[in-house]
Structure 1
Amino acid sequence: MTSHISVFQKSRVPLYLQVAHLMRQKIERQEWPVDAQIPTLNELEREFQVSRITLRESLARLEEEGLIRRTRGRGTFVMKDLSQQRWFKLATSFEELVRTVSELKIRLIAIDEDDHPLVPHFAAGEVAGPYRRLRRVHYRDDRPYCLIEIYLAQDVFALDPRGFSGSPVIPKLAALPQVRIAAARQIMRVTVSDEDTAEHLDIGVADPIADVCRSLQDAQGRIVYYAHIQYPAQMIQVELDLFAGQHQPSPPASKKR
């Protein structure tokens, strides 16, 4: 059996956080279901091959997150069901995107009001400035689930400054008769959070996140909307129809006997 220590040492993340992530996975996968008593320190020590000091720090982290409850003389019990935590389905079409964000709650983050140049992270269309930059946190059930920075073409922003400033941008943009969205692209990468992202999303520094860049273009190929969005990785899922727009293969013909 490969030693856990040799695997843990490959990461710069503190050891107790790595172990806490593994424990969190057990709760998510319902290996440790809600209300169940988790293994004892002796059993955890054998399973993870780390010291008791590290295990106590890991358990303390889970307790701070409200995932477990430690009771002297009785043991440690799971307090939350994480099996359905990946509730946010990342949109894979423009129509789905409009539906998904139409009812979001947002908290605005104060930024300077100057115009900003746009430097896309991928080939996303023609950059034609200036752009108005907006920054905000989106919420569901009072829980932050994404940090988003938006670049909106200044002439488009001027069509409804109040609406764009205080509401989700995508539905407002889709409803404007003066703007026709002709192309939409997005890419997603898996990375880790920095200090700023962690603070806004109430997660730990270096926790895994889904990093999404999204671009909407008008009929002239100009980028009218560009967004950089960061989600806690444990909250999202991606579903794709791998035969979308294609003919599904016919089943193999049965052999005659």
Structure 2
Amino acid sequence: MRQRVESGRWQEGDKISTIEELETEFGVARVTIRQAIEMLRNEGLLDAQQGRGTFVSGRPRNRHWLNLANDFESMVDSVRNNVLKRVYVEENADPPRLAAHEGRPAASYAFLRSVQYNEDEPFSVVNLHLARNLYLKDRKRFTHTAALTKIMEMDDITLAHAHQVVTIGVADPETAELLKIGLGEPTADCRLVLVDSNDIAVYVANIHYHRSCFALRSDLLEKSKKRTKA
């Protein structure tokens, strides 16, 4: 239903299908349709009017404002001014699972879960395993600002790899609650692993982005243009 508003299939001012019609179309219980309408009312997208029906009353906020970086410098810049709300910190955490190409585990890790905000609205949940020796250098800074920018300011660490994988996922109960979205709604999931010059995975982050803020933009001909000029 939100996608229909975003895509313009349901225009602002349009009267949407009845609850009975939506129940039949989506093949779900009537209570589910009512819950969905109430959720979209709270977001300012729908307005239920007694005796008249339900109408589209607005457009999604901050639609696709975040462009996920495809180079490391842009990634660092994109998080530099993020507003974080720290949710959970565990100073002695179990190590993260690492793929074969993601380096070797550090001796120990701290685990930090945070929610990042844009204009007072949550847009991502970050689950971060950070090498504990790095975390202990500046506990306060790591629990109040984006860890990525702090790491880049450290003179005694050299990064050899920054592995990033982007997939489409769905919100589990915890992510849904933190992002204020429905359970099972689509999310853009990013895994970022920083490996130092000793092949140690010092930063292992799994980030869940609110689908309405996320986009991946690139010029697919950019490399071709450079090759042509050469």
Residue number among 189, 196, 200 corresponding to 1:211 in the alignment: 189
Question: Does the aligned pair in 1 maintain the 2:19–2:33 contact within 8 Å?
Answer: no
Residue 162 of structure 1 is matched in structure 2 by 140
TM-score, structure 2 as length reference? 0.84
Provide closer, same or farther for how the CA distance between residues 142 and 45 of structure 1 changes in structure 2, counting only shifts above 3 A: closer
Q: Find the partner of 1:114 among 92, 95, 107.
A: 92
Kindly provide the amino acid, as one letter, of the partner of residue 108 in structure 2.
Answer: P
Counterpart Cα distance in 1 of 2:153 and 2:15: 51
Please give the alpha-carbon distance, in whole angstroms, between the structure 2 residues aligned to 1:42 and 1:126. 54
Decide whether the 8 Å contact of 2:20 with 2:30 is kept in 1: no
User: What amino acid sits opposite 1:140 in the alignment?
Assistant: N
Structure 2 distance, partners of 1:134, 1:107, is 11
Range with bigger deviation, 188-197 or 49-58: 49-58
In 1, Cα distance between equivalents of 2:77 and 2:131: 22
Pick from 147, 152, 158: which aligns with 1:180? 158
Judged with a 3 Å threshold, the aligned counterparts in structure 2 of structure 1 residues 122 and 69 are, in CA distance, closer, same or farther, namely farther
Aligned residue number for residue 41 of structure 1: 18
**Residues 1:49 and 1:170: Cα distance change in structure 2 (over 3 Å):** closer
Map 1:73-222 → 2, pairs under 5 A: 73-82=51-60, 85-120=63-98, 123-222=101-200
Aligned equivalents of 2:29 and 2:174: distance in 1? 31
Give 1:53 deviation, angstroms.
4.1
Matched residues in 1 for 2:141 and 2:19: separation?
Answer: 57
**What percentage of aligned pairs have identical amino acids?**
27
Per-residue CA deviations over 1:142-163 (Å, capped at 9, x if unaligned) read 1111111111112222332221
**1: CA distance between counterparts of 2:138 and 2:170?**
35
Structure 1, residues 39-75: CA drift from partner, whole Å, max 9, x if none? 4539956993769947962433422433111112444
More strand by share: 2
Q: Give 1:246 shift.
A: 5.1
TM-score using structure 1 length = 0.76
SS at match of 2:159: coil
Whole-angstrom distance in 1 between the partners of 2:40 and 2:156: 50
> By how many angstroms is 1:171 displaced?
1.0
Q: How many residues were matched structurally? A: 227
Looking at structure 2, the residues matched to 70 and 203 of structure 1 have their Cα atoms a distance apart, in angstroms, of 20
The 1:42/1:125 distance shift into structure 2, 3 A limit, reads: closer
- CA separation in 1, counterparts of 2:188 and 2:152? 25
1: distance between equivalents of 2:23 and 2:85? 45
Q: Does 1:238 align with 2:210?
A: no
In 2, are the aligned partners of 1:109 and 1:136 still within 8 Å (CA)? yes
The residue number in structure 2 matching 1:224 is 202
- Alpha-carbon distance change, 223 to 44 in structure 1, aligned in 2, over 3 angstroms: same
Q: Is the 8 A contact 2:124 2:207 kept in 1?
A: yes
Instruction: Verify the 8 A CA contact 1:41 1:55 in the aligned structure 2.
Output: no
- Could you tell me how far apart the structure 1 residues matched to 2:206 and 2:29 are? 41
**1:87–1:64: structure 2 CA closer, same or farther, 3 Å change rule?**
same
